[in-house]
Amino acid sequence: MNNGIRKISLGLQGGGAYAAFGWGVLDRLLEDERFDIAAISATSGGAINAAVLADGYARGGGRAGARAAPERFWRALSSASMLSPLRPSAFDILGGAGSMQASPAYHLMQAMSAVLPPQMTPVSMNPLHALLSSLIDFERVRSCEEIRLFIPATNLRTGKAKIFLRDELDARMVAASACLPQVFAAVEIDGEAYWDGSFVGNPALSPLVEQGDGTDILIVQNNPIAREQLPRSLADIGNRASEIAFNLSFVREVSAIEHVRAVVDEERIEQTHAAAVRLHMISGNGELANLDISSKFNLEWPFILQLREAGRKAAGDWLDVHAGNVGLRSTIDTEAVYYPERQMARAR
């Protein structure tokens, strides 16, 4: 704590368009001057949010610049998506809720990925690397010393995590962290091929834990663990399989940290970094799980704004209840991590 301002570290999940929920959370947190963001570990869409935030922070104005940058980025991303075939149809728009179920390109994407390598499919030509390079000044990101960044990607050869740090970060590394294998060809960096970082950390909490400063880690969960609706198509099956796989690493890391904390409490052994960490979570699991899974690919501006506002509200609700616990105790609801279906049942 410095002059009454409490430092927090953030863990930002991926989740395609659902990262706009994370943008809303970030916007509300930056609005609250009781907290400073010291470090961010972020994956996939969360990694894009983190890089944009750091760019805006370094661009000028500190937290004001960090709040303005994501809106510029998401507007540009949404505008660019209008040139893509992967858009909701008129029937989807009439149905609301962001669905892409009536979009031929949504179903074609998954069907083609089953028979063609990603680099041969039209959808894989979406220029994510070029878009990131044009919308984010990575030299400014690397110079943003106020916020540490940890961006994981999955090494395709070894299956292990590679954590890219802020002072080396470039568009390739963020694109690697957001590289869905059924959509994009692997990103090559220094002779190694990488896929989406969500396989190994969604988000990767260990870099934040290993700082060893007893920090508070606030996880922004925008990749639903449980869903009421079963997948209805080949595209839905592939996306739900990825969603489940991406959450395994998240549940595993939270479980490991909580286990160490429990052992320390019971046996009073020498404290470790994991025991000193306080975990918190802002979750969109309830609201996002009610959306059609195809909506993860919907970058239409009204839907992006809907997700942002949901993130702002979730962050505001969390601050109202738990802001005073930062620096004192963990507030994470482990039942929401391990048994999200119980929460969904109670909501019914």
How many Cα atoms sit within 13 Å of 163 on the Cβ side?
A: 16
For residues 271 and 29, which has the higher predicted lDDT (pLDDT)? 29
- Which residue bears the tokens 């001057």? 33
**Distance of alpha carbon 137 from alpha carbon 141, whole angstroms:** 6
> How many Cβ atoms from other residues are within 10 Å of residue 339's Cβ?
14
Q: Tell me: the pLDDT tens digits for 76-118? A: 999 988 877 777 777 777 767 778 777 777 767 666 665 555 5
Q: What is the mean pLDDT of the chain?
A: 84
Q: What are phi and psi of 161, to 5 degrees?
A: -80, 140
Q: Which residues of 249-284 are buried (b: 16+ CB within 10 A; e: fewer)?
A: bbeebbeebbebbeebeeeeeeeebbbbbbbbbbbb
Dist CA 239 CA 234 (whole Å)? 9
Interaxial angle between packed helices 63-81 and 45-59, expressed in degrees from 0 to 180 and rounded to the nearest 10: 130
Sequence-ordered alpha helix ranges (H) in 136-268: 138-143, 171-177, 206-209, 234-267
243 compared with 142, residue with greater pLDDT:
142
pLDDT interval class at 190 (50, 70, 90): very high
pLDDT in tens, 212-271: 555 899 999 998 888 888 888 777 888 888 888 888 888 888 887 775 655 444 444 444
